[in-house]
A and B are shown apart, each in its own frame.
Chain A
Amino acid sequence: MEMTEKIEETARELGARVRPQIEEAKRRFTSMSDSATTYIKANPGKCLVGAIAVGFLIGKIASRRG
Chain B
Amino acid sequence: METRAENPPNGRAAGDAASAKKLGKRMEKVGHTAEQVWDRTRDSFSDFGDALDVKGRVDRHPFGTVAAAIGIGYVLGGGLFTPLTARIVRLGVRIGVRLAVLPLLKQEMAELVGEIEGEEDGKARATSKRTRTRGDEP
Contact = CB atoms under 8 A, between A and B. Distances in A.
B84 A55 contact: no
A55 B71 contact: yes
B82 interface: yes
B69 A48 contact: yes
Contacts of A61: 79
Interface in B78-110: 78-85
B21 to A, nearest CB: 46
Interface of B: 54-55, 58-59, 62-63, 65-67, 69-85
10 contacts: A40-B63, A47-B66, A52-B70, A52-B76, A55-B70, A55-B76, A59-B76, A59-B80, A63-B77, A65-B82
